[in-house]
Structure 1
């Protein structure tokens, strides 16, 4: 009986300690590491969320930019940080899902070293052709594009913002699913690939959301979006999944992570506050300049990451893609 009472007392003490920790946190500033330059999508989202967390939790959440190596410098720093709740990572999907498949010298494990909190925004790609290009004037659907590629194996050229980037892998995944072979023309960035398709240098591009105004102006024709669901800005454009390729879902997302050893109460509280920030009407408008607001449970986020790593690794291996 006495042993049982002692055990109950220990459990009660642990519960009180955990609750007290959750109530106290944070007691000093929290650093949010961003692996990209100021002003980019990850930095913008990180600063919007940081302001909200600072105001709500009464301690400064300070964004620190450590740009370089496609986000790997900042990610490695967070992976090696103490799991005390005072170091956070804000990053994009490439840092987590692409780097592991493209780089052999990556010094962190995206699935083992981090505790995922949630995504905040997701920016799907838009599959576009140029209606003024005689070679694509009659291509109105994904099926039309696939038919054109099958009619001229290895002759249809598509562009992307660089070898191994998300637009490149998205087109390779579509090609693999459709059983076609197209020629990849890598440009120096998404803006350059957009110029390339407008100049009729390539026949198709998975473009970032910057393509939406060009689509609405009739300068580009949207065939599909890469996300599982339709894009609110282009409600009449189907997803690639709807166009005949179920399960196709590739987007450029921005999300938050903590070191794996961070206490569960801290993770739960930060998840709750970041989700609240994303759903705040005043902040939502600012976040939507970077994409579609999208939040996930931590478990769903982890499952999404595992699925994307597996899928993209298969694409990289099948297409023999090498990082630049």
Structure 2
């Protein structure tokens, strides 16, 4: 066999290795498993299921596999250790791929090396909220008012979050650091108890997920002072971003799709094409909009770079917060 024939044979062999993996869900009946590292019913799960439906025609059946626990680490580890054949993909989120590497003393996976991005899916701004009655009592109508009150009344403010190292905790610490104020952090066992504490007047302010806080903002029970995204949110007209007060301030909730690190590029590219088309569909934008979630379609390289920049940012935020999970 001459050199040309050897190369041709090698190319054919490679095709038989890579092609069936990405085609199998549609052509041979093998479904793609999409691991969601959180319990069913939450926004991440709902958006994953919505996309799974929309890619059925291009990729075949996509089965959602919820593997919650350890702040998302159990499910993320299952993605990292899956066969890199395109038949197992999963969700990477702010916690699993930016916060947990610095929060947990021992990690079962390397967030920077064990995954390859497919596309970002969603961005959801957080919102700085106060109990509306408390804000009226203290005459706080803006972020500037809140900062002025905190400086004039040292050690009188507190804020709640869903727990040490949670998104609300880290956003609160970042806000305090940039504002040069002190507010006592009170951790609760989850974001919902933290919001109930705010509604009951047990804490002065929270930085909460916009999707969770919006109903009480609309009901007039919570007063929105600012969103934590770089730009204002169309979902909260008239509410400024914290970046208007602190240049560059941005701390959103996000998630996207990843595959095991060794997944071949042709497979990643085909997955990207299918999921980006699904994210750009008007029906997806409407469905995600109901969750106050903004679809964000990217290239694999863009999502990899974004996750790396988020890890670098949260390394500093987690360190400043002092939060740690053994």
What TM-score results when the alignment is normalised by the length of structure 2? Answer: 0.89
The alpha-carbon deviation at position 134 of structure 1 amounts to: 6.1
Alpha-carbon deviations, 1:30-58, whole Å to 9, x = none? 1111111121222212211122222222x
| Secondary structure at 1:95 match in 2 | helix
- Does residue 45 of structure 2 align to residue 26 of structure 1? no
Query: What is the aligned partner in structure 1 of residue 27 from structure 2?
Result: none
1:98 partner SS: helix
* Residue aligning to 1:199: 200
1:19 and 1:150 map into 2 onto residues whose CA distance is 67
Cα distance, 1:300 vs. partner? Answer: 2.4
**Stretch of structure 1 that moved more, 294-303 or 164-173:** 294-303
Could you say what secondary structure the match of 2:55 adopts?
helix
Aligned to 1:109, the other structure's residue is in SS state: coil
Taking the aligned partners of 1:131 and 1:75, their CA distance within structure 2 comes to: 38
Match of 1:279 in 2: 280
Number of equivalences: 318
Distance apart, 1:157 and its partner CA: 0.4
| Unaligned 5+ runs, structure 1 | none
- 3-state SS of 1:38 partner: coil
Decide whether aligned partners of structure 1 residues 317 and 191 sit closer, same or farther in structure 2, where only a CA change above 3 A counts.
same
Q: Which structure has greater helix proportion?
A: 2
Show the counterpart of 1:249.
250
3-state SS in 2 of match to 1:62? strand
Measured in 1, the distance between the counterparts of 2:174 and 2:11 equals 49
Answer yes or no: is the 8 Å Cα contact 1:139–1:145 preserved in 2.
Answer: yes
Moved more, 292-301 or 172-181: 292-301
**Residue equivalent to 1:236:** 238
Deviation of 1:168 (Å): 0.6
**Structural mapping, 1:122-133, within 5 Å:** 122-133=123-134
What residue is the counterpart of 2:220 in the other structure?
218
2:320 is aligned to 318
CA–CA separation in structure 2 for the residues paired with 1:200 and 1:174: 21
Counterparts of 2:42 and 2:279, CA distance in 1: 18
Counterpart CA distance in 2 for 1:281 and 1:97 is: 30
Q: Which residue of 2 aligns with 1:73?
A: 74
Q: For 1:93 and 1:136, how far apart are their aligned partners in 2?
A: 35
Q: So what's the TM-score if we normalise by structure 1? A: 0.89
SS at match of 1:133: helix
Change (3 A) 1:263 1:219: same
Match of 2:303 among 288, 301, 304: 301
Tell me how large the CA RMSD over aligned residues is: 2.5
Q: Matches of 1:73 and 1:35 in 2, distance apart? A: 7
- SS in structure 1 opposite 2:229? coil
**Ranges in structure 2 where 5+ consecutive residues have no aligned partner:** 25-29
User: Is 1:90 aligned to 2:87, yes or no?
Assistant: no
Quote the Cα distance in structure 1 between the aligned partners of 2:227 and 2:325.
25
Conserved? CA contact 1:37–1:66, under 8 Å: yes
Q: Is 2:58 the partner of 1:56?
A: yes
Q: Can you list the C-alpha shifts for 1:155-213, whole angstroms capped at 9, x where unaligned?
A: 21011111110011001011111222210011222222222222221111112222223
